[in-house]
Amino acid sequence: MSIENVLFKRCLFRSLCTFGRKASRLVNREDNRKSISKRIMSALPKKNGHHQKFTICVEGNIASGKTSFLEYFKDTHDVEVIEEPVNKWRNVQGGNILAKMYEDPTRWSLTLQTYVQLTMLQNHVKSQEKTIKLMERSIYSAKYCFVENLHNSGKMPDLEFAVLSEWFDWILDFHKCPLDLIVYLQTTPEIVYDRIKKRQRKEEQTIPIEYLQTLHNLHEDWLIHQRKFPVPCKVLTLDANYELDYMHKVFEENRKKIICDSG
């Protein structure tokens, strides 16, 4: 064997060894990357696993049956109920800004709706212990129905509406407030007007039926016709014009769509 052949084989051997070491390092790096990726993915919430949380919101006009809806599902396994924070609106350092708004909406609408927006945001971001969070109303209906109504009727000036709208947009940009399902309790204004008179809540006794008609139209435009405002999730509409005993049957018939399909 010539010297040239010996040198060539040595060079080839060294090259193959070097290539083998590099290839081994690349394989190890790839294995490490896959291992890390698996650990990261296993820590993320699973779409169909126990880590995923769901938020369901019940919407509707005043006296549409939202509280009854929450009462019916409150003892369901792995469901936590969050009521509309009306008691906070009735007692802000001893002052009832909900009552003041009904008495003088031009003066108090911005004050109330600013506080409503804050307290609804608190409900959205509240730490969730159970799989399903069941909320009464949302930050969306506060803006798309109640604030819009006050502005459209001239009870909230353009400048105040612009300030509140900018706050709302900022909140959604930074906090998202996701929903997985809206249950819309659809009622006629005449039905809820009659219920309001029967339940005799002090703040509500001066509410005219025209106000309820306008709120009804805004809910319909938002959740049924979807004409003006974005709907953040799918909507389940239930006819809620019936007495409580019958509505319990309606709730039970739709339990799977409300609870099981979410959780």
In the block, tokens 């040239």 appear at 4
Q: Where do the structural domains in the chain lie, given as residue ranges? A: 1-44, 54-260
Residue-wise pLDDT for 172-200, tens only, equals 999 889 999 999 999 999 999 999 999 88
Has residue 112 got a pLDDT over 80? Answer: yes
Separation between Cα atoms, residue 74 and residue 83, nearest integer Å: 11
**Element at 166 (helix H, strand E):** helix 158-175
Q: Is the dihedral of CA 109, 112, 117, 118 positive or negative?
A: positive
Residue-wise pLDDT for 216-262, tens only, equals 999 999 999 998 899 999 999 999 999 999 999 999 999 999 997 66
CB 181 within 8 A of CB 57: yes
At 18, phi and psi to the nearest 5?
-60, -45
At 243, phi and psi to the nearest 5?
-70, 165
More confident residue, 45 or 166: 166
Residue 136 bears catalytic tag: yes
Share of the chain above pLDDT 90, in %: 73
Which one is catalytic: 84, 136, 148, 160?
A: 136
HSE toward the beta carbon, residue 49, CA cutoff 13 A? 7
Separation between Cα atoms, residue 185 and residue 224, nearest integer Å: 11
Has residue 73 got a pLDDT over 70? Answer: yes
Both tokens of 168, joined, read: 């709302």
In the prediction, which pLDDT does 261 show? 65
Q: Provide the whole-model pTM.
A: 0.79
CB 94 within 8 A of CB 117: no
In the prediction, which pLDDT does 5 show? 53
Residue-wise pLDDT for 25-42, tens only, equals 544 555 555 554 444 344
| Structural domain 54-260, CATH architecture | 3-Layer(aba) Sandwich (3.40)
